[in-house]
Amino acid sequence: GAVVSQHPSWVICKSGTSVKIECRSLDFQATTMFWYRQFPKQSLMLMATSNEGSKATYEQGVEKDKFLINHASLTLSTLTVTSAHPEDSSFYICRSSYTFGSGTRLTVV
């Protein structure tokens, strides 16, 4: 079946630095990728929707300049958390069609 490979699975970074999370569709073309954030013991919050070759659509309240999304090809979408702060620590997950990536645990210290 369809597989979305997400890397890294976990990352620790210093406050003020940027972190890039990648999601690759391994055996299909992902025209659209959805990016979610999940806080501990909570449901998933949709952050943005990216379409290959066009600008991402961000949900209300999500800072576009902080969470940069790029979808340059049909198999790769990236989320960059810029100037990360401790409050950005969370679990980030991507999805294409029915398939989710394995998630990235970001800890900002």
Partner 1 sequence: AQSVTQLGSHVSVSEGALVLLRCNYSSSVPPYLFWYVQYPNQGLQLLLKYTSAATLVKGINGFEAEFKKSETSFHLTKPSAHMSDAAEYFCAVSEKEYGNKLVFGAGTILRVKS
Does 67 interact with partner 1 (rule: CB under 8 A)? Answer: no
> How many amino acids of this chain bind partner 1 (CB under 8 A)?
24
- Positive or negative, the CA dihedral 76, 23, 39, 13 is negative
Does 7 interact with partner 1 (rule: CB under 8 A)? Answer: no
Figure out which of the listed residues 70, 80, 99, 107 binds partner 1, where binding follows CB under 8 A.
99
Determine how β-strand 10-13 pairs with β-strand 104-108.
Answer: parallel
Which tokens sit at 75? 């198999």
Does 100 interact with partner 1 (rule: CB under 8 A)? Answer: yes
The alpha helices in 37-95, defined as continuous H runs, are none
Does 17 interact with partner 1 (rule: CB under 8 A)? Answer: no
> 103 with 8: CB under 8 angstroms?
no
Does 105 interact with partner 1 (rule: CB under 8 A)? Answer: yes
Figure out which of the listed residues 7, 22, 31, 62 binds partner 1, where binding follows CB under 8 A.
31
Figure out which of the listed residues 43, 54, 61, 87 binds partner 1, where binding follows CB under 8 A.
43
Q: Report cis status (omega within 30 of 0) of the bond before 40.
A: no
CB of 84 to partner 1, least distance (A): 19
